[in-house]
Chains A and B, each alone.
Chain A
Amino acid sequence: MDDFIHIDLKLFATLADKTPPEADRFPVPRGSTVGQVLEKLGMTPETAKLIFVNGVRQPLDYRLHDGDRVGIFPPIGGG
């Protein structure tokens, strides 16, 4: 299991139904980017616009670390 790290993943709004089981300890291959995780979970960059890791906005090619808290928000515009 050394080749896997665990991230705490939270998917917001319409993305919530793509939340995997045990999302707070979600295993991803070491060296994965956020973009690769999105792809694996069936999300497109268009639906997953706002990515933040440990409270800071990050791009799709951000390389994940063990224990990272990852949040993903789709575009929302209602009022």
Chain B
Amino acid sequence: MDNLVAAIKKEAVSATLPDGSPVETITASRAERLAEEFGLSLRRVEIKILENGVVPRRYLRNLKTFSLSDQARLLESKAAVIGLGGLGGMVAETLARLGVGQLVLVDGDRFEEHNLNRQLLALHSNLGRPKAGEAARRIRRINSAVEVEVHGHFFGPETAGTALEGARVVVDCLDAIDTRFLLEKAAKDCGLPLISAAVAGFSGHVTTVFPSDEGLRSIYGPPDSLSANRGAETSLGCLAPAVSLLGCLEATEVCKVLLGKTGNLRNKLLLVDLNDYTFQVLDLA
């Protein structure tokens, strides 16, 4: 490891942040070479680089909102993204760019033409292909340090244990209300925080549920009181700006939870209505 630290120092290049402050950086190709040379994963090498006061260049514009230790902590973390449609595609993409080091991607669905209106990862060229595999391909092209686990099946209680194993946070990107309750139960059983968002038309909401919180019941009522598994989206559809925005808000919550930042949405619900640009934070507890 001492040799690795020496190699990192040797490869580091001095640069300047836009605010004029100095920073030591290292390029992805040099980091990749170090990973190969020392027989470590690129993610491990990037963590080591950050621990030694040097910044992999792909994270330069995360500074100084993130400190070097924040960035290292994100790289150490594993997030499980459940559902890879409009919300999940945006969440996976954004977490990879932020540098969350391990992503579990769960979806048994394949891309269809009616996904093209909103789902970041849906392309004409990949219609019919599995969403989880396509998401993994995309992430590898964005950030090669991110380690991806692909679960190409639909989320269910029987597979929840494997999907959530080792995760530090779970992101609900599902599209049916009853399955959201199943996921909330699984996250609570594993003692994990859950970030949950839902969309209908131009509106949506997002919240963060810790295991001891009332959670989704405070939004939907008890699960057995629901007349249907789907909500207002059956008549309003799901529009790209709302679903992308809500996905980005979920990714923001992932950061806050992983880094222990204040100002998160625990026991709160951020309501968004793009029809009249309502943004309102409600108290749920």
Interface residues of A (CB under 8 A from B): 10, 12-14, 16, 46, 49-50, 52, 55-57, 71, 73-79
Report how far A77 CA is from B198 CA in the complex, Å: 5
Question: Of B88, B174, B197, B271, which one neighbours A73 at CB under 8 angstroms?
Answer: B271
Question: Of B198, B236, B280, which one neighbours A71 at CB under 8 angstroms?
Answer: B280
Residues of A within 8 A of B282 (CB): 52, 55-57, 71
> Known contacts being A77-B175, A78-B175, is A13 close to B86, with CB within 8 Å?
no
Report how far A52 CA is from B280 CA in the complex, Å: 11
Main secondary structure of the interface of A (DSSP, over half): mixed
Interface residues of B (CB under 8 A from A): 83, 85-88, 173-177, 180, 197-201, 203-205, 218-221, 225-233, 235-238, 243, 269, 271, 273, 275, 278, 280-284
Residues of A within 8 A of B175 (CB): 77-79
Residue in A12, A13, A75, A77 whose Cβ sees the most chain B Cβ within 10 Å? A77
Q: Could you tell me if B198 and A78 are in contact, using CB atoms closer than 8 angstroms?
A: yes
Main secondary structure of the interface of B (DSSP, over half): mixed
Residues of A within 8 A of B180 (CB): 77
Q: Could you tell me if B177 and A13 are in contact, using CB atoms closer than 8 angstroms?
A: no
Report how far A78 CA is from B280 CA in the complex, Å: 19
Other than the given A57-B269, A71-B280, A79-B197, 10 more pairs (CB < 8 A) read A12-B271, A13-B201, A13-B203, A13-B232, A49-B220, A50-B219, A50-B220, A77-B229, A78-B198, A79-B88
Q: Could you tell me if B177 and A79 are in contact, using CB atoms closer than 8 angstroms?
A: no
Question: Of A10, A14, A55, A57, which one neighbours B200 at CB under 8 angstroms?
Answer: A14
Residues of A within 8 A of B205 (CB): 73, 76
Report how far A16 CA is from B274 CA in the complex, Å: 13
Report how far A76 CA is from B228 CA in the complex, Å: 10
Residues of B within 8 A of A71 (CB): 271, 280, 282
Residue in A16, A56, A76 whose Cβ sees the most chain B Cβ within 10 Å? A76
Residues of B within 8 A of A12 (CB): 203, 271, 273
Question: Of A16, A56, A79, which one neighbours B243 at CB under 8 angstroms?
Answer: A79
Q: How far is the CB of A10 from chain B (nearest CB, A)?
A: 7
Residues of B within 8 A of A10 (CB): 278
Report how far A46 CA is from B284 CA in the complex, Å: 19
Q: Could you tell me if A79 and B220 are in contact, using CB atoms closer than 8 angstroms?
A: no
Question: Of B88, B227, B231, which one neighbours A76 at CB under 8 angstroms?
Answer: B231
Report how far A75 CA is from B225 CA in the complex, Å: 11
Residue in B87, B203, B221, B228 whose Cβ sees the most chain A Cβ within 10 Å? B203
Residues of A within 8 A of B225 (CB): 46
Q: How far is the CB of A16 from chain B (nearest CB, A)?
A: 7
Residues of B within 8 A of A55 (CB): 280-283
Residue in A13, A55, A74, A78 whose Cβ sees the most chain B Cβ within 10 Å? A78
Residues of B within 8 A of A14 (CB): 200, 232, 235-236
